[in-house]
Amino acid sequence: MTTRRPRPGFLARMLLLHLAVVAAVVLLCGGVYGWLTYERLGRDAEHQALSIARSVAAEDDVRSTVAGLVDAGPEDLDPDVLAAGALQASAEDVRRRTESLFVVITDDDGLRLSHPNPAQLGRPVSTDPTEALAGREVTSQERGTLGHSARAKVPVYAPGTDTAVVGAVSVGISREDVLATLEQDIAPVAATAVGALALGAAASTAIARRLKRLTLGLEPEEITELVQDQEAVLRGVDEGVIGVSPGHRITVVNQEAGRLLGLDDPARLVGTPLAEAGLPESFPALLAAATPASPAVEQVVGPHVLILSARAVRPAGPGLPGLGWVVLVRDRTELQSLTRQLDAVGALSTALRAQRHEFANRLHTISGLLALGDTDEARRYVAEVTETGPLTYPAEQAELLRDPYLQAFLGAKSVEAAERGVVLRIGEDTLVRGQITDPQDVTTVIGNLVDNAVRAAVQGAAEDRWVEVELLDEWAGGTGTLHLVVADSGDGLPVADPEPVFAQGWSTAAGAAPDGAVAAPGLPEAHGQGFGLALSRELARRRGGDVWVTDSGRPGGPGAVFCARLPGTVVPGTVVPGHRPGDHGAGRAPAGPREDGPPDLGARGAGAGSSGVRATGRSAGGSGGGPDGRTDGRTDGRTDGRTDGRTDGGTGGTG
């Protein structure tokens, strides 16, 4: 079985290609230079031969001797006579002095009167003498009896005239002499070419090694696969990915990161300095603190609550410089929304169980009275139950909210508050006649404000813990705006300027720095988990509304009053039956922030006292079983000594 030789790698092929190109260029340039030099040397030899021939033809002795031999007889053209003659001696002397191949003198018939080879004397020349005998000078490179040469032929004129041609002089420069000169001229060029070839080979080798280091030894096909895999991963993950180089320049931004961070064209950010990329201000601090154990940081960007985590990327080898950072951006907004909805469903389920328990207790009382035959007492008990109305809804006056989503949501919040010993009540000025168009944004704002208020009430010094919520829809030009006021019995905000509570990073026990990265003493665990208020204001302002503080409250209560305005969140609905539009402040909404001071709350001024709500004096027990302040004093002490243990104050009378 024959084994197939492995194909050379890309870098090896590239090195060979570079060497081939360099060699081809060097050889081509050397060949062209050699050819041009050879042509130049040939022309120089022709000119040299022409000069020698001219000087010989111009000598008076040569002219007179040649003219004397024009009419000579055969005996004068005998080779032995010519060999011993003056022309042969003169021509050979010139040939030796000029190192020419030959100096030949002919008569007007082309017979040799001188020649380096005496045997050729008296014979016709081997090349055509017609041009020279016609009075014209000729240069050429031809092969004769002595070999290839660069030669020149000039006419010999009779003495005293420039027109009567009596012979010709032919001078040749050997080709070997030309080639010898060529070798001398081209030797430095050849050495330079060899040096250039060696330099090119060295440069190609160095480039190949550097490319191998830069590509980590990967072949182009492997690099292509890696790029395709990276593109697939970046486009396929549900998280945002941002790569930052050691020089703090953006190297990678996927589409999800652009969507979460509100970037118009993420691809254009590649190569942009981090400071000019328009990313959140917390990014530099996040990168500076990036370690394998560094915690994720929450950041509110637009309508999203994002979790940012950064990791420094380092090569596997020790001592190598870092490769930069990778920042992961995850969206927590939908998770928070789902969690809030699940909490609401759980709270409603708890409320229904409490109501079922109360209803069962009342049925058991009626059943017991009937079993004892005390029908009159049973009848009176049923009448009392009928007079007290149906089972208490988790949030009082929730019927003022026509939107079922708001009713359910605030009902669930009231159950949650009751579990913490806080009464959540709907204010008397509440009236929402329309239907909510964006439950997610509305419940996000209401939920954050109510949760903060409940937390503040729990931590407050007042024994009567309550949270009051007022909602009112306002109509203008066919669009509805939802107004919201939330007040509590807590100790208020411990800051003179309430604006810092809307900054990102104010945590529960210690308010974090506004960049959300470094904790510092600030707001206690009330009115904010660090991002709820910031997110609520962001959502409201994105709709053209706002969230603000109208009263910071005071220690001992009442607490702070928060207001919100949410335009475009309500569509027309049905007016509450039996409720006049003028009742409960219908058509009157809490005013927005004023330029000259704190916002006004309509007819209630700052909110009926420093709390911003009307203190009703009710001490509601909600669904948890405590009194709601409307204790009717009835302990049902009947004549038979039975008591049902009811304190008719809510949904929690357990009997």
Q: Fill in the amino acid letter for 59.
A: E
What backbone phi and psi angles, to 5 degrees, belong to 348?
-65, -40
Q: At what angle do helices 333-371 and 404-419 cross, to 10 degrees?
A: 80
| Alpha-carbon span 63 to 74, nearest angstrom | 20
Question: By C-alpha distance, which of 53, 31, 32, 56 is closest to 140?
Answer: 53
| Alpha-carbon span 268 to 253, nearest angstrom | 9
The dihedral through the CA atoms of 629, 395, 624, 529 has a sign that is: negative
Q: Which residues are CB-neighbours of 617 under 8 A, at least 6 positions away? A: 629
**Confidence at residue 108, expressed as pLDDT on a 0 to 100 scale:** 86
| Alpha-carbon span 641 to 637, nearest angstrom | 6
Cβ-in-10-Å burial (0-12, 13-18, 19+) of 509 comes to: exposed
Tokens for 189, please give them.
């060029």
Shared fold status for 220-331 and 395-604: no
Would you call the peptide bond into 558 cis, given omega within 30 degrees of 0 as the criterion?
A: yes
**Confidence at residue 426, expressed as pLDDT on a 0 to 100 scale:** 92
Tokens for 467, please give them.
């949270």
By DSSP bridging, strand 561-571 and strand 304-313 are unpaired
Report the predicted TM-score, pTM, of the whole model to 2 decimal places: 0.44
Q: Where are the domains of the chain?
A: 10-181, 220-331, 395-604
| Alpha-carbon span 294 to 643, nearest angstrom | 62
Buried b (16+ CB within 10 A) or exposed e, 201-237: eeebeeebeeebeeeeebeeeeeeeeeeeeeeebeee
Distances, alpha carbon 563 to alpha carbons 22, 442, 525, 591, in Å: 79, 13, 20, 9
| Alpha-carbon span 185 to 205, nearest angstrom | 32
Distances, alpha carbon 323 to alpha carbons 5, 51, 248, 316, 333, in Å: 37, 76, 11, 11, 31
Question: By C-alpha distance, which of 611, 625, 520, 614 is closest to 557?
Answer: 611
Question: By C-alpha distance, which of 57, 58, 111, 53 is closest to 82?
Answer: 111
**Confidence at residue 52, expressed as pLDDT on a 0 to 100 scale:** 92
pLDDT digits (tens, 9 = 90+) for 575-629: 444 444 334 433 333 433 333 333 343 333 333 333 333 433 333 333 333 333 3
Tokens for 243, please give them.
């790569």
What backbone phi and psi angles, to 5 degrees, belong to 302?
60, -130
Tokens for 482, please give them.
């939802």
**Residues with pLDDT less than 70, the chain:** 1-9, 73-74, 292-293, 299, 303, 316-320, 336-337, 340, 343-344, 347-348, 350-351, 354-355, 358, 387-394, 478, 504-531, 573-655
Question: What's the DSSP call for residue 584?
Answer: G
**In 442-513, at which residue ranges do the beta strands (DSSP E only) sit?**
466-476, 479-488
For the chain, the maximum distance between any two Cα atoms, rounded to a whole number of angstroms, is: 188
Tally the residues of the chain: 655
| Alpha-carbon span 520 to 217, nearest angstrom | 49
Question: By C-alpha distance, which of 625, 631, 602 is closest to 614?
Answer: 602
Distances, alpha carbon 94 to alpha carbons 114, 165, 170, in Å: 12, 22, 12
Q: Which residues are CB-neighbours of 78 under 8 A, at least 6 positions away? A: 122
Alpha helical stretches, state H, 460-598:
532-542
The dihedral through the CA atoms of 519, 524, 525, 528 has a sign that is: negative
Evaluate whether 257 touches 238 at the Cβ level (below 8 Å): no
Structurally, at CATH architecture level, domain 395-604 sits in 2-Layer Sandwich (3.30)
**Confidence at residue 591, expressed as pLDDT on a 0 to 100 scale:** 38
Domain 220-331 has CATH 3.30.450.20: yes
Q: Which residues are CB-neighbours of 477 under 8 A, at least 6 positions away? A: none
Evaluate whether 69 touches 77 at the Cβ level (below 8 Å): yes
| Alpha-carbon span 45 to 141, nearest angstrom | 9
Residue 528's SS3 state is coil
Alpha helical stretches, state H, 372-496:
375-388, 404-419, 439-459
| Alpha-carbon span 493 to 456, nearest angstrom | 9
Tokens for 399, please give them.
């019927």
**Confidence at residue 387, expressed as pLDDT on a 0 to 100 scale:** 63
Evaluate whether 30 touches 219 at the Cβ level (below 8 Å): no
Alpha helical stretches, state H, 215-269:
220-236, 255-261
| Structural class in CATH, domain 10-181 | alpha beta
| Alpha-carbon span 205 to 18, nearest angstrom | 9
